[in-house]
Amino acid sequence: MKYFYFTLFTILFFGCKNSPIKKDTVITPQINSSDWKSISLQKNINTNAIFNENQIRITSPEGMSGVYYKYPITRHFEVECGFEQDDNTILALFHDDGAGKPDINNFSAIGVENIDDTIYVYAIDCQNGIDNVFDNTSKVDKENYRHKLSGKEYSIPFDKTSKKFRLSYDELSSFTHFFYSVQKEFEGEIKDSWMELFPSPPWNTDNQKFYVGLLSKNGTATFKDVKMERTALEDESDIKTGFAVTKRNFVWSGNRGDAYVVTFGDEFAHCSKDYKFVFWEKMNDIPAWYLDNQLLFSYEFCETWEGGYPGCYEPMSDRFLAFSKVKILEDNDVRKVISWNYQLRNPDYHYPYDWMGGETPKAEELYYIYPDGYIVREIKFFQKLDTEFRNWNEVTEFILIAGTQTYPSDHVKYPALTISNMGSVSKQFLFDKKQHPQSFNSDDWDAYVISAHFLNHPDVFGSFIQEHQKGKELLFEVSWHTTNYKFAHWPVNRIHYKSDFSTQLPWKGVVSHTSLVGGGSRSNKEWSENYQTDDDGRKFRQWQALLGIVNNDVTADEMTNSWGNVATIDNVSSDDEFVTYQKAERTYIFKDNGDNQLSFELLPEKNLINPVIKIEDFKGQSDNINVFINGDKVHFKTVKLASSTLLIWCEASLLSLTQITINSK
């Protein structure tokens, strides 16, 4: 008999049960057939397992039988395998029976079968000798543990798998998750992703060990590329990382994936906390504040509806990341500029009227991120206008995402939401966990400063000033919104949609989210005004928002006033000139026409916080800059950009007439 060699990932970890694994530790031993033992789920069935050089071929003419790996795995882990055909094939996790062997009366498994040329992916389990319990809380139907791959099921637009299974065990919640891989072609490129059956709540999990099984049901199954991997429970600390943007593996609530992670240093009011701003693939790249291992907060994205198909057209549906693109445009000491472009598709990847015209609805967003943690979000939205389709679009929702140990409602203070007109008037919403009718519809406000209130964390806010909006003025509403929803179709999870718009799961133990408020452009659906045109002649609307985390010294209203109210600039040094204030970049722009010094007087209309100054055609040396405010040196960050532009961020709070001098010596 030939020996079977393949890569098997296992992780060994010693310590108390609640100690997080900060980094993955991987051992890749070479193993052979002696490490696998026969197992059968019915009596009098013999396993026929053939070990070749790169695969295991298992034949079970009747019933389920196969092999199991004799070394158990524990804690927080994933098990994955490849297989050759969409039939007869099962990946299983057996509980330890207490005597060092797999317990056929307690296991979870995912399988695939072909019935009359239609592929079905399904879960199997046995809980204390009872077959196919799945949800032992009896809160969801068993039909959610089976997917028909006809290519016609809503939010499951596939007719076959791409021949991979994954079972994951979440140590934080003790839930088991069932995944199968899928492929789809987008504009000539094949992309891979995962779909998920409903997860299974825990049973018999205290200090449980698990054995990996490879089984065949009523036929032959061929397995390859088996791996087991223990993974981290939480992200690495970035308290000492400083102001940086890094593309790396990011972990939240036991889930990992690639992300662009923006971290902050001493200039950030919350530098002693591990708050960061992430563009994470497990969120379909939708940016969010990381507040802790159980709480993320997102400002959402552009979306629209109707147009011939069910559901929302939004990047939340893009599980393949087929149309989501994140790119770092600037990475320096003064700021990080990140672009995020995406198309608006529904869960089946349709866009409105996609049988007509060539335009797809899309958005292009820029995030200007500064050392103090304040972010300007610039949004360009391109509606589909080459057909008769017309509908309004949303540009933001305040979404909080709860990890596997909490519900969204567990994280908020009550009232959960405040909406302010830059301090002149404010209203509060969502006073308790009960869902009840509320309304907010004030289109006559000058600005909307929206703050979400959290337990154990400061407020997170987002501000829209109406006069900033080159697109149609925005309308915000609190209507169906509540702290009490448990939407589980996004992020992290890859389950199917139970309704046109969403799936909710009833358990604590699964990542879920809810929405507190939404805002968008509801009027002028014909786009006859308030639009711009790009180089290709396509119309778009543009909006700007200020995002941030409130600190003890500066309120959300004060920071919004600082951003939105332009200071008066006077007495600019000879040969220099003031050009403009650019809200999107939060910068006062000057032009250097001569020497190595710029001086001017600045009179703020409101308290000006941490001004950003840009000097075009700067002729001095950027590594020898001094900044003086009323004659005193101040802390600042500076960089000289490639276009001979000097960019300076100053740590200062300016309340009255101020003399600013910048020189290079």
Q: Can you list the positions of beta strands (E) in 383-425?
A: 393-402, 412-420
Q: What are phi and psi of 16, to 5 degrees?
A: -70, 160
The CA–CA distances, whole Å, from 322 to 284, 344, 533, 540 equal 10, 11, 25, 22
Closest residue by Cα to residue 398 from 298, 279, 276:
298
Q: Which class for 443: exposed (0-12), middle (13-18), buried (19 or more C-beta within 10 A)?
A: exposed
Domain ranges of the chain: 33-230, 244-549, 565-664
Handedness of CA 523, 527, 529, 532 (dihedral sign): positive
* Cα 21 → chain centroid: 22
CATH architecture of residue range(s) 33-230? Sandwich (2.60)
Predicted local confidence at residue 596, as pLDDT = 78
pTM here? Answer: 0.94
Domain 565-664: top CATH class: mainly beta
CB 73 within 8 Å of CB 209? yes
Strand-pair partners of 382? 362
Q: Which residues contact 125 (CB under 8 A, 6 or more apart)?
A: 107, 108, 109, 131, 132, 133, 134, 200
Predicted local confidence at residue 428, as pLDDT = 93
Q: What amino acid occupies position 628?
A: F
Q: What does DSSP say about strands 189-196 and 210-230: parallel, antiparallel, or unpaired? A: unpaired
Total residues belonging to the chain: 665
Q: What does DSSP say about strands 632-633 and 568-570: parallel, antiparallel, or unpaired? A: unpaired
Q: Which class for 93: exposed (0-12), middle (13-18), buried (19 or more C-beta within 10 A)?
A: buried
Predicted local confidence at residue 15, as pLDDT = 31
Q: What is the pLDDT of residues 358-391, one digit of tens each?
A: 999 999 999 999 999 999 999 999 999 999 999 9
Where do we find the tokens 């698990």? 210
Q: Three-state SS string across 230-248, please?
A: ECCCCCCCCCCCCCEEEEE
Euclidean distance between CA atoms 92 and 100, whole angstroms: 17
Euclidean distance between CA atoms 409 and 404, whole angstroms: 13
Q: Which two tokens stand for residue 154?
A: 């809503």
CB 599 within 8 Å of CB 590? no
Closest residue by Cα to residue 90 from 165, 4, 36, 175:
165
Predicted local confidence at residue 165, as pLDDT = 98
The CATH classification of domain 244-549, taken from the options 1.10.8, 1.10.10, 2.70.98, 2.10.260: 2.70.98
Residues of the chain where predicted confidence (pLDDT) is lower than 70: 1-32, 435-437, 439, 441-443, 468, 471
